[in-house]
Structure 1
Amino acid sequence: MSVSASPSPDSSTRPAVSPFALNVAVAIYLMALCNQTFWGHLFRIFEGHTVTALIFAAAIWALTFLVIAFIAVRRAQKPVLVALLLIAAITSYYMDALGVVIDRDMIQNAATTTVAESKHLITPAFLLHVLLYGVLPSAVVLWVRIRRTGIWRSLAGWTLVNSLATALVIGLLFSNYKDFSSVLREDKELLASVQPLAPISGAVRYVRMLMKSRDIVLQPTGTDAKAGPYLAAATKPVLLVIVAGETGRAASWSLGGYGRETNPELAKRDIAYFSDVSSCGTATATSLPCMFSPLTRAEYSYEAGLSHENLLDVMARAGFKVEWWDNNTGNKGIAARLPSRFMTAVDGAEFCTPECIDAVFLKRLQDTAATITQNTVIVLHQIGSHGPSYWLRYPADREVFKPTCQTPEVMECSAEEIVNAYDNTIAYTDWFLAQVIDMLDGQDRVIPAMFYVSDHGESLGENGIYLHGTPYFMAPTEQTHVPMVLWMAERYQAALGLPQDCLKERQAKPASHDNVFSTILGMADISTTARDDALDLAAGCRARGS
C-alpha cells in the first residue's frame, strides 16, 4: 500500500507573496517604524521643505531596498530579512531612546565589553521594544509563503530589480544634487541614524579594521628610556599611581566651576586640577588605549595603536615595576605585556555587593605601598561613573544628592534624579581619589604621586542624548570635556625637582589626552626621545625648580 505525501496543514491558509513584494514590505516597515531619530533629523534639516525631505527619504528607502534586494536572495531571503529586522529593532532602541549612535567605534566598544557592564543595558523596556519591533515582524516574515520561480528567471529578476533600485537611488539624489550633497557632507548625524544601514556599515568597517590589524608588527617605543638624574638619585622608591577614570565629565566637577559641591575632598588637598581637557574619544575602547599611546588623537587609530608600544612599556623599560589593576572592562591591550589583574570580592567583599565599587582598590594599594622596594607604577582602572546604573557606583551611605534614579532605564527617571545619581558618582570618585592621596602621603616608605584623568565624559539627557559613545564629529562637549588631576607629595616634588606650583600655572590652559604620555614621562623624570616637550605639561618646571 502506498502512502502519498500530504501538504502542510497550514499551507493553504498562509498567504503567498513574491520575493519582490516581501522585500518591499520589509524595506517600508524598516523605514517607517525603526527610524524615529532619522525622521526627526530629516524634518529638522529640511524644515519648511517637506517635499524635498520626502524625496531624500525616498532615496534612503530605495537604498535600504537595494541592500535588501542584493543580499536577501532565494533561500537566504528569510534569514537575511529576520537578521535585518532584529538588528534594526535592537539599534533603533538605543538610537531613539538614548541617542546612542551605533557606529564602528560603538560596535568595537560592545565587542570588548563584559557581561557585568552590558547587562545593565538589557532592560525590560529594551526587551519589549525588540519583541514588538523585531521578533513579531520576523515571525510574520517566517510565516508567509514565498512564490518561487526558476533559477534563471530569478536571476534575471534580481538583476533587473537591483538595476532599477540603483537608478532610483541615483535619480532621487540627483533631483536636488546641490542640497542633498550639502546635507550628506555637513549633516553626518542624519545618515548615522539610518537603521539598519548605519550599524551594518559600522559592523563592516569594524570587521575590516580587525582584518587589517591581524598582521601588525609591534614597533618598540622609547628604546632609549632610562631614569633621569633626579629619578636615579632618589633615596626611596618612587610610587606613581595612575587612575584611569571612567565616564567622568568635567561639567559635573565643582573644581571646574560646577554649581554643586561634588569635589569637597579634593578641594581640601594640594592638587593641580586641569579644567580644560579634551578626550581622545567618547568610548573606552578608543579613549583608553589612545591616552596611553605615544600618538596624538589626530594620529591615533586602532591599527596605529596596536603597532606602537605605549606609556607603560616605556616606563617598564626605564626600570619601573608596572602593574594594571582593573575594576572595569579590562585594559584594552594596554597591559598586554605586563602584569594585570581584575579586582574581586577577595580584595574587599564589603565593596562588592553586588558589583565592586572603586573602594575595592584601597586595601591592596595600601598593602602594596607598604612593601615596595623599587620604582613602581600602578594603574587603577575605575568603574567610576559608568552608566546607566549610576546608583551602583557608590555605597548607599554616600548618597549625597537625592532623589536618585534607581533603574538602568534612565528614560523613566526625571532629569533631576538622573543628575543626582550621576553627581553622587562624581562625589564618590572625589572621596576615592582623596583616600588614595592620603594613603600615599602617609606611606613614608615611598616617594608618591597620583595622576588622574577620565577616559571620556557622559550625556545625561541634554538634547535627548544619554550615556556616551557619540561619534566624535558630532559629540557634545559633555562627552569630550574630561577632568584631570595631578597630586605630588612634597617629598616627590623635592626628590624629582618638580614644583607642583609650576604645574598649577598651566592648569587653566587647554590640554588633552595628547598630553598624558609625555607629561607622565616628564613628571617621572624618564629620559627618552619618545617624550615630546611640546606635549609635556611639566616641561620647563623641573628646570625652574632645580
Structure 2
Amino acid sequence: MIFPERRREITQTKLLVIVSLFFVVFYNVAFFQHVVGVYPVSRQNIGFLLSLAVGLSAVIMLFMSVISSIYTVKPLVIFFLLLSSVTAYFIDNFDIVFDHTMIRNIFTTDRDEVADLITLKLVYYLILLGILPSLVVFKIKIAQISFKKNILYKIRDSVVSVIVILGLILFFSKFYTSFFREHKPLRYYTNPTYYIFSTGKYIGDILSTDDSIIHPLGLDAQVVRKNGELKKLIILVVGEAVRADHFSLNGYPRETNPLLKQEDIINFSKMYSCGTSTAYSVPCMFSAFSKDEYSEKKGKTNENVLDLLHRTGSIDILWRDNNSDSKGVAVRVPYQDYKQPENNPLCSDGECRDEGMLIGLDQYVEQHQERDILIVLHQMGNHGPAYYKRYRKEFEKFQPVCTTNQLEECSNEEIINSYDNALLYTDYFLSQAIAFLKKYDQSRTAALLYFSDHGESLGENSLYLHGLPYNIAPEAQTHIGAFAWFNSNISKNIPLKMKKTKDQRYSHDNLFHTLVGLFEVQTKEYKKDMDLSSN
C-alpha cells in the first residue's frame, strides 16, 4: 500500500524523542557498563537504572529542543549522529573520556596521529551508528508548522524534559545523591552530552584567554657563577607515553633499558606527570606553576622556563620536535620540526625517527661556543596505538607483536610486546644522546634529563592509551619514566644528592626549578627545595 505523502510526515518532537532514545541505547554502552559496575542490576537498583536511561534521554531531548528548529533539526541530528558514532567507538573500545583536555588534544593533533587512529572497526561504527541512521533521518519529512507554533512546541518540549529530569532526581534522590556526589566520573562516559559540555568548556577557555597578553617571568633572572667555569650543555628529552613500570631501570622483569643500565644513570623511580595527555602535560611541566595551580589559561598567558632562561642573555635554547609540536612552549625560542623529511634525514614510510634529531647538533654546539646551551628533544617515543611504527625492525625483540593500529584485533601480549619494543628503541635513542654529550667531556659541563610527558594504559581494566581525567586515571597513565645523567665535569655534590633522594616521590613540578638550578640562574622564581640538583 502506498501511503499519502502527509502520512509519512513526522513532527519535530517525535523525531527528537526517537533520536534521544536511539542515542541512549546505542551510543552509551560504555556508560551503562560503568554504571552497572557501581550499581549492579538487582531488584533494588533496577528502577534507578531505568531512570538513568529515561533521564539521559530527557537531557538529550532538552538540548536538541533548545538548539534546533524545523529548518535545522535534521542537519543538527545528522551532525551529532555522525560525531557521536566516532566518539562511541573510542569510548567503547579504549575507555577514552572526552573531557575539555581531550577536546583540546583533538584540535591540536596532527594528520599522522589521526591516521594512526583510523581503523576498520571505526569505519564500522561510522557506518552503522552514523551514516545509516543519518540516511534515515535525511529521508524523513518533518511536518511543517508556523513559526509561532514552533516556538510554543519548543517551550513545551523543554518544560516537559525538565519536569521529567527533576521528577526522576526527586523520586530516586537517594541514588542520585551518591551518583552525583560520590561517582562523578560516571558522567564522563555519557554520549553525546559530555563531549558537548567539554567542547563548550574548551571554547569558553579560548574566548576568555587573550593570547596577546603574555605575562613575563623572571625579569630578574641572571646567570651567576664563578669565572673560569665550563659552559653548560644540557639536553632535555621529553618522552612520549612512557610508563614507569615498563622501565627495567624500575625493576620491570623485561630488559627494556639494556643500554641505559650501562650508563651512570640516576633513575627517578617515583616520578609523576602533571597530566595524562601531551597537550596538557608539556606546557604544565615547563611552567612555573605546580600541578595544582596550573591551568591551560595560565599556560597560554604566562612565559615558561625556556623564556626565563633565554632572558638571562647567557643561555641559547633550541627545540627540536619529532612529535606533533611543542604545545605552545617553544613559540618564543628557536624551533625545528623534525617530523618533516626536509629536516630529519631518517624518515621512511611516513615515519621520522627520533634519532634524526641528534644529527647536526654538533654544528649547533660549535656555533654557540661562548654560551650555555639547552637543547630540548621532543620524542615520538611510544605514541600509540600504532606502537609497531615507533621502532626499526632490529628492535623487535619481543614477539609476537601487534602490527595494526586496531588494538581490538591484537592480544594483550602482542600489544605489550609492541610497546616494549618501542621502549627498546627509546633506550637506544637516549644512549645515543648520552654518547653525543660524552664528546664534550673536555670542554663543557654536560647533562641529559629525561622526563616522559605521561604514561600509557595497555589493557588493564580494559583501558588503553591515555588521556583520562587525572582524578580517575590509573597510575599507568601518571607514573612516568624519568632519569638524569651527568658527565664528570658536574659538581660532585649534585649526583651524590640526587642518588640519595632518587626514590622519593617527585613530579613534573620539579623540572622548572631543576633547570634553573643546573644553569645557576638567580631569580626569585627559583625554589631550591624543588630543585632535584640542589645540595
Structure 1-normalised TM-score? 0.93
Q: Residue in 2 aligned with 1:456? A: 454
Structure 1 counterpart of 2:365? 369
For residue 193 of structure 1, what is the amino acid of its counterpart? Y
**Are the equivalent residues in 2 in contact too, given 1:18–1:146 (CA < 8 A)?**
yes
2:260 is the alignment partner of 1:252: no
More displaced 10-residue stretch of structure 1: 160-169 or 346-355: 346-355
**Is 1:395 aligned to 2:389, yes or no?**
no
Q: Which of 26, 37, 61 in structure 1 is aligned with 2:30?
A: 37
Secondary structure, counterpart of 1:378 in structure 2 = strand
Unaligned segments of structure 1, at least 5 residues = 1-8, 542-546
Checking the alignment, whether the CA contact within 8 Å between 1:14 and 1:145 is kept in structure 2 is: no
Superposition map of 1:55-204 within 5 A = 55-204=51-200
**Partners in 2 of 1:351 and 1:234 — Cα distance?**
39
Q: What is the aligned length? A: 527
Cα distance in 1 for partners of 2:25, 2:341 equals 48
Q: Is the 2:238–2:451 contact (alpha carbons within 8 Å) kept by the matching residues of 1?
A: yes
* Secondary structure class of the residue paired with 1:519: helix
Residues 321, 336 of structure 2: 8 Å contact kept: yes
**1:322 aligned counterpart, secondary structure:** strand
| Deviation for aligned residue 1:307 | 2.1
Amino acid at match of 1:251: D
Distance 1:347 1:155 in 2: 58
TM alignment of 1:119-518, pairs within 5 A: 119-214=115-210, 217-230=213-226, 233-235=228-230, 237-318=231-312, 319-343=314-338, 344-373=340-369, 374-443=371-440, 444-491=442-489, 493-494=490-491, 498-518=493-513
Equivalence map 1:39-54=2 (5 Å): 39-47=32-40, 48=42, 49-54=45-50
Q: Distance in 1 between matches of 2:3 and 2:337?
A: 55
Tell me the distance in 2 between the aligned counterparts of 1:222 and 1:498. Answer: 26
- Cα distance in 2 between the residues matched to 1:340 and 1:153: 58
Contact 1:173 1:180 in 2 (8 A): yes
- Post-superposition offset of 1:73: 1.6
Matched position secondary structure for 1:473: coil
Alignment CA distance shift 1:289-1:14 (3 Å): farther
Change (3 A) 1:527 1:140: same
Match of 1:544 in 2: none
Query: Is the alpha carbon distance of 1:153 and 1:13 closer, same or farther for their aligned partners in structure 2, counting shifts above 3 Å?
Result: closer
Distance 1:428 1:412 in 2: 24
How many angstroms apart in 2 are the aligned matches of 1:216 and 1:461?
Answer: 42
Q: Measure the CA separation in 2 of the matches of 1:265 and 1:389.
A: 24
Shift of 1:502: 1.5
Instruction: State the alpha-carbon separation in 2 of the partners of residues 245 and 415 from structure 1.
Output: 23
How far 1:354 moved relative to its partner? 2.6
For the structure 1 residues 499 and 156, does the alpha-carbon distance in structure 2 shift closer, same or farther, using more than 3 Å as the test? closer
Whether the aligned pair in 2 keeps the contact of 1:351 and 1:359 (CA below 8 Å) is no
Are the structure 2 counterparts of residues 354 and 158 from structure 1 closer, same or farther at C-alpha, using a change threshold of 3 Å? Answer: closer
Query: What is the CA–CA distance in structure 2 between the aligned matches of 1:398 and 1:67, rounded to whole Å?
Result: 51
**What amino acid maps onto 1:390 in structure 2?**
Y
Q: Is the 8 A contact 2:509 2:530 kept in 1?
A: yes
The DSSP-based 3-state class of the residue aligned with 1:345 is coil
Q: Is the 8 A contact 1:98 1:465 kept in 2?
A: yes
What is the rounded CA distance, in whole Å, between the counterparts of 2:88 and 2:382 in structure 1? 25
Equivalent in the alignment of 1:18: 11
1:414/1:168 Cα in 2 relative to 1: closer, same or farther (>3 Å)? same
- Rounded to whole Å, the distance in 2 between the matches of 1:165 and 1:355 is 51
Q: Determine the C-alpha separation between the residues in 2 that align with 1:473 and 1:390.
A: 26
* TM-fit CA distance, 1:217: 2.1
1:523 corresponds to which residue?
518
Shift of 1:12: 3.5
CA RMSD of aligned residues (A): 1.7
Q: Which stretch shows the higher mean deviation, 340-349 or 155-164?
A: 340-349
Provide the secondary structure at the position in 2 that maps to 1:97.
helix
Cα distance in 1, alignment partners of residues 519 and 454 from structure 2 = 24
For 2:53 and 2:16, the matched residues in 1 are separated by 17
- Contact kept, 8 Å, 2:495 with 2:533, in 1: the verdict is no
Distance 1:89 1:11, change over 3 A: farther
User: How much has 1:484 moved relative to structure 2?
Assistant: 1.0
SS at match of 2:105: helix
Deviation at 1:351, TM superposition (A): 4.0
Moved more, 146-155 or 34-43: 146-155
2:257/2:424 contact within 8 Å kept: yes
**Do the aligned partners of 1:404 and 1:421 also contact (CA within 8 Å) in 2?**
yes
Q: Provide structure 2 residue ranges, at least 5 long, that are not aligned to the other structure.
A: none
**Pairwise CA distance, 1:349:** 3.2
Amino acid at match of 1:341: Q
Select between 287-296 and 482-491 the one with higher mean Cα deviation: 482-491
Distance 1:221 1:434, change over 3 A: same
By how many angstroms is 1:157 displaced?
1.7
Give SS of 1:486's match. Answer: strand
Residue identity opposite 2:487 in structure 1: A
Name the SS of the counterpart of 1:452 in structure 2. strand
Deviation of 1:393 (Å): 0.7
Aligned counterpart, 1:5: none
Amino acid at match of 2:93: A
Larger displacement relative to structure 2 (284-293 or 157-166)? 157-166
Per the alignment, residue 532 of structure 2 pairs with: 537
CA distance in 1, matches of 2:199, 2:126: 19
Q: Give distance in 1, aligned partners of 2:151 and 2:131.
A: 30
Equivalent AA in structure 1 for residue 374 of structure 2: V
Q: Distance in 1 between matches of 2:365 and 2:237?
A: 15
Distance of 2:414 and 2:363 partners within structure 1: 38
Please give the secondary structure, in 2, of the residue aligned with 1:262: coil
8 Å Cα contact 2:277/2:467 also seen in 1: yes
Quick check: 36-45 or 291-300, which moved more?
36-45
Task: Report which stretch shifted further, 363-372 or 454-463.
Answer: 363-372
